[in-house]
Amino acid sequence: MNHMLNSLLTEQPNPLTDHIDELPSAEIMELINKEDQRIAELIQPLIPVIAQAADLILEAFQSGGRLFYVGAGTSGRLGILDASECPPTYGTPPSMVQGIIAGGFRAVKDPVEGAEDSEELGAADLDEHGLDENDVVVGIAASGRTPYVLGAMRHAKEIGATVISLSNNAGTPMTLLADVSIEAVVGPEVVMGSTRMKAGSAQKMILNMLTTTAMIRLGKVYRNFMVDLNPSNEKLVHRAKRMIHLATGANEADIEQAFAGADGHVKTAIVMLMAGVDAVEAQRRLDLADGFVRSAIVGPS
């Protein structure tokens, strides 16, 4: 296993940072920044493949399926981060996008020794969530060969779920198991093998693209406003009302009235104000339009 890891691009020393231990802070950061600038450029040509993956996730959501991210260490934490931000941003149920990490939630903070080395554990953790063929599993690993992730992906494939891989090396075992394979090959890290850096940043950017694109295409965004957000605190209530203002141009009194009438649901309030209808009719229009605000404003044809 170890000699295989030695050959991975993410495990190579970076010749550009060989003297980084001799530099002052600003020069260290210049080198880090220079390497980071390459990430977005390297992701750009992968967009057709990332879009293919997002379309599969969208299809799963439309048929009542769920999205599972599976990873160990940094990759697992990034999956949990992306999953946990979907409910407040897009008003989704917590079960719709879930992050699973080797070693369980304790591993979000503390490393759990050996957890990532078990294929069986990866399969068992997915089983606990009642995985079925309508779901999508995205395996995330910089190396592309983490046993825990491979076990989860194999198991998902056997069940008939859609399997996507996200790695930072080319031609890995994960790639062979995936229906769609995203290989963000960002090269050697500033500090050799510290894949929380470029590899982690690339993963974060791609996960953002996957869920944001799927949620937009589900009708959870009107113009560029997150109109399905859950206004669960003072900041989000303020943001919700500001979105209603920006979307409709209505005055403060009308916004307050619509927001209250819509029980704090931004989409409903926007349709009420734009179409000049009450909350019941706005909700009926949204239901007929599958939640798409533009269609609901125009109304049933």
CA 161, CA 43: separation in Å to the nearest integer?
Answer: 26
Is residue 103 within 8 Å of residue 77, measured between CB atoms? Answer: no
The identity of residue 10, as a single letter, is T
Active-site residues: which are they?
85, 116
Cα–Cα dist 197/188, whole Å = 10
Give the CA angle between residues 140, 77, 153 to the nearest 5°: 30
Residue with tokens 């293919």: 52
Q: Alpha-carbon distance 285 to 276, whole Å?
A: 12
What DSSP string runs through 196-238? TTHHHHHHHHHHHHHHHHHHHHTT--BTTB-TT----SHHHHH
Question: Cα separation of 246 and 143, whole Å?
Answer: 44
Contacts of 65 (CB under 8 A, 6+ apart): 59, 132, 134, 135, 136
For residue 158, count other CB atoms closer than 10 A to its CB: 9
